[in-house]
Amino acid sequence: MSMSGAGTLFRKELLRFWKVAFQTIAAPVLTAVLYLLIFGHVLEDHVKVYDRIGYTSFLIPGLVMMSVLQNAFANSSSSLIQSKITGNLVFLLVTPLSHRAWFAAYVGASMVRGLAVGAGVLLVTVWFAPLHAAQPAWIVVFAVLGAAMLGTLGLIAGLWAEKFDQMAGFQNFIVMPMTFLSGVFYSVHSLPAFWQAVSHLNPFFYMIDGFRRGFFGVSDVSPWTSFAVVSVSFVFVAGLALHLLRTGYKLRH
């Protein structure tokens, strides 16, 4: 019964963002294209990243992954905070859904949205510069892991926040800085030694660097190191989210 209910909740979450796809899918794709047009046009002849890769080509995988991460986070976090504020969360609380079913439904729907936006960004931006999948397995692995991790982080943020400004603070002061300082627009090898070390403390860096490895066959760190860091980070945030759901943190009051 619990898993059947998880499927129903999953479909409900899919419909929630699909009914406003112009806002949840098309708008992020347009934003990524604008980033590409501005940064690619201005910096193409001024920034050298790796020996044989143009800056625009380098930028595209970073924008794709950034879109995946931000939209996976936005889906689960916005759904929970809206349900809390409007009061319809009570209809989920009276169901016999386990905490694992909640987790699977919310994170699964967030992954679908994040990957859909990422695919849209890739399809639109690939016309601006040539891309080749040198190691496609890493593309899939890091896209799925990144979407799952940020969907889970959005679930934690949605459980913690009680009003929209708290959610905005979480996104603006944690998710956005970690995303923009993860190497989306630059290679960390272009930074001074101190800031390279700081970048290596950011798990978002490993998601984007590993994802980029799948396209170019080169990266700032080993893809296996990135895979280990991202996997451990996901296990940690998933364990925390499941614990909060199991205890009913900020849900049952």
241 contacts: CB under 8 Å, gap ≥ 6 = 103, 107, 152, 155, 156, 159
Look up residue 20 and give its DSSP letter. Answer: T
Q: Domain residues of the chain, as ranges?
A: 2-247
Q: Which residue has the higher pLDDT, 125 or 45?
A: 125
Confidence of residue 198 (pLDDT cuts 50, 70, 90): confident
Please give the Cα distance from 186 to 55 (Å, whole number). 9
Mean pLDDT of 172-187: 87
**Helix, strand, or coil (residue 135):** coil
- Note the pLDDT of residue 192: 83
List beta partners, residue 53: 49
Compute how many other C-beta atoms are within 10 angstroms of the C-beta atom of residue 4. 11
Looking at the predicted structure, is the pLDDT value of residue 162 above 70? yes
Between the alpha carbon of residue 214 and those of residues 60, 171, 218, the distances in Å are 12, 28, 8
Between the alpha carbon of residue 47 and those of residues 55, 168, 175, 187, 232, the distances in Å are 6, 33, 26, 10, 33
Cα angle vertex 39, ends 20, 198, to 5°? 95
- Note the pLDDT of residue 180: 85
- Note the pLDDT of residue 58: 87
Looking at the predicted structure, is the pLDDT value of residue 93 above 90? no
